[in-house]
């Protein structure tokens, strides 16, 4: 499912226009992104938790040349599914 299909689904389930569904989805994405940028977490009970993880600096290898390179430390988004989501899939 891509963003357009998700907007269509939201619009039909919530009985709102596609434009309103698109604005709502964009607002959720901006809210999650801004909270993660600040180092916070976003918990949607039953669905899951979005958080920021830290990846340490490490040595890597350039696949074209085989040369060893240094990969910088980075912050990465992580998602941990909630119990209701896990139960729905099994």
Res 80: pLDDT: 96
Percentage of the chain with pLDDT > 70? 100
Beta bridge partner(s), residue 51: 78
Structural domain boundaries in the chain: 3-89
Q: What is the mean pLDDT of residues 25-43?
A: 96
Under DSSP, the state recorded for 43 is: E
Model confidence band, residue 48 (pLDDT cutoffs 50, 70, 90): very high
Q: What is the mean pLDDT of residues 18-46?
A: 96
Closest by Cα among 46, 55, 56 to 80: 46
Q: Return the CATH superfamily for domain 3-89.
A: IHF-like DNA-binding proteins (4.10.520.10)
């Amino acid at each position: 499912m891509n963003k357009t299909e998700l907007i269509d689904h939201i619009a039909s389930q919530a009985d709102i226009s596609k434009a309103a569904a698109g604005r709502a989805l964009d607002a959720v994405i901006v809210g999650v992104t801004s909270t993660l940028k600040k180092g916070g977490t976003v918990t949607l009970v039953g669905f899951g938790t979005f958080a920021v993880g830290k990846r340490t600096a490490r040595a890597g290898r350039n696949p074209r040349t085989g040369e060893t390179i240094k990969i910088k430390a980075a912050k990465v988004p992580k998602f941990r599914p909630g119990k209701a989501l896990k139960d729905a899939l099994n």
